[in-house]
Structure 1
Amino acid sequence: MAALRTALLLARLLLGQLILVPAWLSDAQAGQGFKVHQPQKEVSVRVGETLTLICTVTGGGPLGPVKWLKGWGSGSETIYDQKEHSSFRGTRAVNESNTDFTILIRDVRPEDTGTYYCVKFRKITASDDELHQRGDGTVVSVLGTSPFPSVEVATAVLFFLLLIFILIFCVYHKKCRGEGQSQGAAGAPAGGCSPIPVLSCAGSPGTPSNVRDAETPRPPQQQSSEQKDIHYADLQPLREAPQRSQSPGTDRSEYASIRAAAK
């Protein structure tokens, strides 16, 4: 009885292996024509832009998802997963395609620099997958900030410049007011930060030299010398001019002379 039970158990095991043979053959045939094609070798992108990573596959391939990984080995990071695509940054460029697995990564950051791999996995159990084939990898370089500043940065710069302008204006206004008060206390006309003096020249319009001389006090010696120049003026009547025959209605004219003598 024990030998019969052992024979039945072996028969069942052999039957189970024979049933799995067609699945193995189909996976082997699918793997022969399957190819992961990752054409991009290097890609450069700026911060804030959208990164496009191209990946296509040929043939049906074995059962299992396609993933995008950043880096390789124990420190790799999943960027896209065909089974749980909504949980990662990468999104499909062509939805519901069985051959095009190109993804988009929006709003690129400096830490996105690295090497990205398109990987095909093969299902071995309901919860486990193993590597079937991967692409050659795409090296992504993040160049830096965008040449055009964002709205927030531009607003901050304008606000800072406005504060500087207001500060300079206040300091200038305070300085002008202090100078105006000091000029008013000294008797000078106030009302400006840097008053412009009015210059007058001899002979210029509006400032005749005789008016300036009259306002300028003279030394007593100069005044006495000028007073001695003319002592008197002797006015004498003129001799009566001989009368000439005049036509009726003609008016007569008289003349006077002034004689000045100096001592």
Structure 2
Amino acid sequence: MGTKALHVMVVVLMSLAAVSCTGGAPDSDESVPTPGASTSAAAEPTDRLENRLASLTDLEGRPLYIEPESRTRALLEAGSTPPPVEPTYSPTECAPPQEFTPPPESLEGVWGRSNLNDGEYRLEVWIYTAPEEELVEYLIPSDVEVDALCQDFAFSFSGITQNFSYTLRDSPPVAPHAQRYHYTVTQDGSTTRYVTIAAVNGTVATVVTLSTDEPADRAMSDAILRLAQQATQRIDEE
């Protein structure tokens, strides 16, 4: 069973759920602080990742909104500890043997998104930096066969139940290590369709997630592939 791939996708979607519960479109006069690193050694790559994020655009060519450091740091820290409520899976065989896998200790990241007021789609872009082997181990499942992936299951946490259904999993040529997932999530009778691309190129990684009410068309799918490729350009190639 594709427990490692399953874990990665659940982590991504739990993060999106947390943002949805607390997020909202930024006020027009809200200042955007520059993400800082905990040590001077990490400050330069993090700043460069923010510059790269600032150069990316949404599907209409508009700059992404860069989340303030406080929210980005809070989500990174939340992802480094086990969830306070143990999730449950149905059927139970879809549960990974290890419920929580911590991220790399040196993980730093920046976070951008499209404007939430648009309504047609939601775009989330994370760009990370950490040692390459650790990023690959955390984000890119290499020991899972497509046919073995648990395709349909329910995931419940904190009184919320979401029904997952995978429709596609492949390895697009956007980076040396990459996985793409097409899947749907149904909650309270409402279905959202997702395309998520996780990619690692050296010490740079990205997770790009597009969510829509209707299936993404070819142009949208191609656009986020290009976005993932841009986001994972090696720092030493800039």
- TM range, normalised to the smaller chain? under 0.3
Normalising by the residue count of structure 1, what TM-score does the alignment of the two structures yield?
0.18
Structure with higher Rg: it is 1
Instruction: Give the structure with the larger strand fraction.
Output: 2
Normalising by the residue count of structure 2, what TM-score does the alignment of the two structures yield?
0.20
